[in-house]
Amino acid sequence: MALKFYKTALVLVSSFSLGLTACTPFRQVDQRVVELQAQAHHEVNNDEAVATLYTQQQANNPQQLNTLIQKKLNTAFEIAKKYPSVKVSSGQQNTSPIYSNHKRITGWSTYA
């Protein structure tokens, strides 16, 4: 079944590229740009996808920053938990200082 899917995708890409060549008579001959795009659809059992979401925030102090980040993460988790088939987990959180030109800490940045 997977082989049939790949053959179908190959036919779609080939057909599209031939159509692209036929439909672009106004391009200059010396251009060397080829743009291809193809889509295929195939239903499978137990389909699985992994999505990674992140947020980045800056603030003047780390405590304020942590509060802002936690609110965003909690909101995202609550939305995701409304869908029973979605599994949610959190990853790493990194906080680092923001320095001025004079090497003084002027704020904080968190990526989570």
Q: What is the pLDDT of residue 30?
A: 55
Closest to 98 measured CA to CA, from 65, 74, 67: 65
**CB of 91 within 8 A of CB of 50?**
no
pLDDT in tens, the chain (112 residues): 444 444 454 444 454 444 444 444 554 555 566 677 778 877 777 777 787 888 888 999 999 999 999 998 899 889 989 988 888 888 888 999 999 999 999 999 988 8
The number of angstroms, rounded, from the C-alpha of 40 to the middle of its chain's C-alpha atoms is 20
Question: For residues 21 and 13, what is the distance between their CA atoms, to the nearest angstrom?
Answer: 12
Q: What is the pLDDT of residue 31?
A: 55
Q: What is the pLDDT of residue 101?
A: 93
- Give the residue ranges of DSSP H helices in the chain: 2-22, 62-80
Q: What is the pLDDT of residue 19?
A: 46
